[in-house]
């Protein structure tokens, strides 16, 4: 859930669709590896983004571009390898020596780490640094999104300097996948348990570390001087660390200017106005070897949520269903531009294990007749507040929803914010909004990472919520019981249970108007080489190079 989407210049946020699976299948790990053998070393890789990081503290950051940065800076116990294709979909030890030893009852995980890793300040990495990350995530005062991924953890203990033992309250088939999340990367013992680290240098144990973060302006990462790709334990990863520096800038700028900067070799990766992607594709082609415009499948969706804890939509299934009938998915998808993805009306994106297409609502246009019938007598004063973001397609989507809902008797007031501010406000429980606009990309390829993370009201906290519909199951019989049953299941049974939940939450619960299952689009500067990206981390910054 990786992560919340940010509407940025890089467009690393946008996610998956079978629509482009065939187009994006070429140039996988093999070609990426071949290009690395002749990669130029040195230089600066310059990233433009219209929005800042939400945070640089791994215990709190949860935007896609924040995690993309941390893919180059953080050391985790396990990770999805930084290669395209099937090889990048298998959980692999990173700091750990091997996959966990799991007890016979499936509740205790024992993990041992390799010696030799050091933080960028020279401090050795021990198992205490990983435990520190877990302890911070469980600390209610920190208000970390990690807390919702640790509610089934009974205890976390260390054995000596290199072994961690985690005991669960119940069997959790996705626990190993959770261990790949940035929340659980090794952190220095100086990181406070109950407060954020909000300025550089942010010392870390990955190939790079963040030396500067000038909020709403820029950031800089440089090589970790204690990471050596030619020696153990680093060599096995195959990382190249080609560039000397990685910079982030352009924050607050506009996409048209960013595109020109990439055209003129003033930046290395950027986004563009949605209306320009067709022109870019025609000019440069798509997914060409050493090309400048690339798309890749992702596991992600965009949606408009309704706040189930505010008076308008609380216990008001019919009005929520009316909204889902009235919105114009065709128009909203068009605002994302060429090759943005495929229209949908379901939480699970195309390509997610367990996805089944149910065709619940119209994907061709609004059904005002149904919407009006459902809304009649349920509009509760007929006024709604929409928290929208100011960049790219944010205003157009908000205005579309405003027009559509007017047709069924709702007057929508739009309040516009910067993307980070909009999400931060909507993530506060009790914030007085009725509708907001969000995107979600999977932290790992499991349907629980959508359904349980985004739609389980038991995970709600005072702030930093990703369940911005504040949904707890209204309209779906035995909802929490079904959530728990699916979460504990494995194999085909697990996937089938999640497919049914996806259907029922959309049809009976109607918590949000999901409209797009997306693709990632990257426009590169003329001197970028070694391009590759994965759905779990985005552009592989540890291998990118300059020509």
In this prediction, residue 38 carries a pLDDT of 60
Q: Which of 468, 273, 311 is nearest to 387 (CA)?
A: 468
In this prediction, residue 26 carries a pLDDT of 31
pLDDT digits (tens, 9 = 90+) for 107-119: 999 999 999 999 9
pLDDT band at 164, cuts 50/70/90? very high
Q: For the residues 470-479, what does the mean pLDDT come to?
A: 98
Q: Which of 73, 54, 49 is nearest to 182 (CA)?
A: 73
pLDDT digits (tens, 9 = 90+) for 209-244: 999 999 999 999 999 999 999 999 999 999 999 999
Interatomic CA distance for residues 528 and 8, integer angstroms: 19
Query: Cβ-count burial of 334 within 10 angstroms (0-12 exposed, 13-18 middle, 19+ buried)?
Result: middle
Mean predicted lDDT score pLDDT of the chain: 92
Q: For the residues 448-468, what does the mean pLDDT come to?
A: 95
In this prediction, residue 13 carries a pLDDT of 30
Look up residue 541 and give its two tokens: 């910054």
Give the whole-number percent of the chain exceeding pLDDT 70: 93
φ/ψ region of 130 (left if φ > 0, alpha if ψ in -120 to 50, else beta) reads: alpha
Residues in the chain: 547
In this prediction, residue 436 carries a pLDDT of 99
**Top-confidence residue, 284 or 40:** 284
In this prediction, residue 392 carries a pLDDT of 86
Q: For the residues 466-491, what does the mean pLDDT come to?
A: 97
Q: For the residues 274-278, what does the mean pLDDT come to?
A: 96
In this prediction, residue 238 carries a pLDDT of 95
Look up residue 80 and give its two tokens: 């999805």
Answer positive or negative: Cα dihedral of 191, 188, 464, 477.
Answer: negative
Helices (H), 76-161: 127-138
| C-beta separation of 10 from 65 below 8 A | yes
Residue 305 has pLDDT above 70, yes or no: yes
pLDDT digits (tens, 9 = 90+) for 315-364: 999 999 999 999 999 999 999 999 999 999 999 999 999 999 999 999 99
pLDDT band at 86, cuts 50/70/90? confident
Lowest-pLDDT choice from 372-376, 390-394, 398-402: 390-394
Residue 37 has pLDDT above 70, yes or no: no
What pTM did the predictor assign?
Answer: 0.85
Answer positive or negative: Cα dihedral of 345, 351, 352, 355.
Answer: positive
- Which of helix, strand or coil describes residue 14? coil
In this prediction, residue 5 carries a pLDDT of 54
Residue 518 has pLDDT above 70, yes or no: yes
Question: Any residues with CB less than 8 A from the CB of 484 and at least 6 apart, and which?
Answer: none
Q: For the residues 378-382, what does the mean pLDDT come to?
A: 98
pLDDT digits (tens, 9 = 90+) for 395-425: 999 999 999 999 999 999 999 999 889 999 9
Domain 297-519 fold: Dipeptide-binding Protein; domain 3 (3.10.105)
Residue 134 has pLDDT above 70, yes or no: yes
Residue 82 has pLDDT above 90, yes or no: yes
pLDDT digits (tens, 9 = 90+) for 523-542: 999 999 999 999 899 999 99
- Give the domain ranges of the chain: 52-251, 297-519
Residue 31 has pLDDT above 90, yes or no: no
pLDDT band at 139, cuts 50/70/90? very high
Q: Which of 442, 451, 489, 498 is nearest to 473 (CA)?
A: 451
Domain 52-251 fold: D-Maltodextrin-Binding Protein; domain 2 (3.40.190)
Kind and range of the H or E run holding 361: none
* Cis peptide preceding 42, ω within 30 of 0: no
């Amino acid at each position: 859930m990786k992560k919340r989407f940010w509407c940025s210049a890089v467009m690393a946020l946008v996610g998956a669709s079978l629509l482009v699976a065939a187009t994006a299948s070429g140039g996988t790990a093999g070609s990426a590896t071949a290009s690395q053998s002749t990669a130029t070393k040195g230089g600066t890789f310059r990233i433009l983004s219209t929005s800042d990081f939400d945070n640089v503290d791994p215990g709190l950051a949860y935007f896609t571009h924040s995690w993309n940065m941390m893919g180059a800076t953080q050391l985790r116990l396990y990770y999805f390898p930084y290669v395209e294709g099937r090889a990048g979909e298998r959980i692999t030890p990173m700091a750990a020596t091997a996959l966990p030893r799991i007890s016979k009852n499936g509740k205790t995980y024992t993990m041992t780490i390799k010696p030799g890793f050091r933080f960028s300040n020279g401090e050795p990495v021990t198992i205490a640094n990983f435990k520190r990350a877990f302890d911070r995530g469980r600390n209610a005062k920190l208000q970390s999104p990690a807390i919702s991924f640790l509610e089934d953890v009974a205890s976390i203990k260390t054995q000596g300097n290199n072994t961690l033992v985690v005991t669960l309250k119940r069997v959790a088939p996705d626990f190993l996948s959770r261990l790949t999340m940035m929340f659980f990367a090794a952190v220095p013992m100086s990181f406070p348990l109950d407060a954020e680290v909000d300025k550089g240098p942010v010392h870390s144990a990955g190939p790079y570390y963040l030396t500067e973060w000038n909020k709403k302006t820029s950031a800089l990462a440089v090589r970790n001087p204690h990471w050596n790709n030619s020696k153990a334990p680093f060599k096995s990863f195959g990382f190249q660390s080609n560039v000397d520096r990685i910079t982030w800038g352009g924050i607050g700028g506009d996409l048209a200017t960013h595109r020109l900067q990439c055209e003129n070799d003033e930046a290395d990766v950027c986004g563009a106005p949605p209306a320009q992607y067709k022109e870019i594709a025609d000019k440069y082609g798509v997914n060409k070897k050493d090309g400048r415009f690339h798309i890749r499948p992702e596991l992600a969706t965009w949606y408009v949520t309704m706040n189930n804890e505010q008076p308008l939509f609380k216990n008001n299934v019919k009005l929520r269903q009316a909204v889902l009938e009235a919105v114009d998915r065709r128009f909203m998808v068009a605002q994302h531009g060429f090759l943005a993805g495929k229209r949908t009306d379901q939480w699970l994106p195309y390509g997610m294990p367990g996805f089944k297409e149910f065709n619940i609502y119209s994907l061709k246009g609004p059904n005002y007749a149904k919407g009006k019938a459902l809304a009649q007598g349920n509009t509760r004063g007929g006024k709604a507040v929409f928290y929208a973001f100011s960049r790219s397609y944010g205003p157009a989507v908000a205005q579309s929803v405003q027009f559509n809902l007017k047709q069924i008797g709702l007057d929508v007031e739009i309040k516009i914010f910067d993307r980070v501010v909009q999400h931060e406000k909507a993530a506060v429980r009790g914030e007085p909004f009725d509708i907001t606009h969000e995107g979600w990309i999977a932290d790992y390829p499991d349907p629980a990472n959508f359904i349980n993370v985004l739609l389980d009201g038991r995970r709600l906290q005072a702030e930093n919520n990703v369940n911005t519909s504040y949904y707890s199951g209204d309209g779906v019989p035995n909802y929490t019981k079904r959530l728990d049953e699916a979460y504990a299941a494995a194999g085909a049974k697990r996937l089938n249970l999640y497919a049914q939940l996806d259907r029922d939450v959309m049809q009976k619960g109607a918590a949000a108007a999901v409209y797009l299952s997306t693709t990632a689009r990257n426009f590169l500067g003329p001197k970028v080489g070694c391009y590759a990206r994965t759905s779990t981390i985005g552009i592989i910054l540890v291998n990118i190079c300059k020509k």
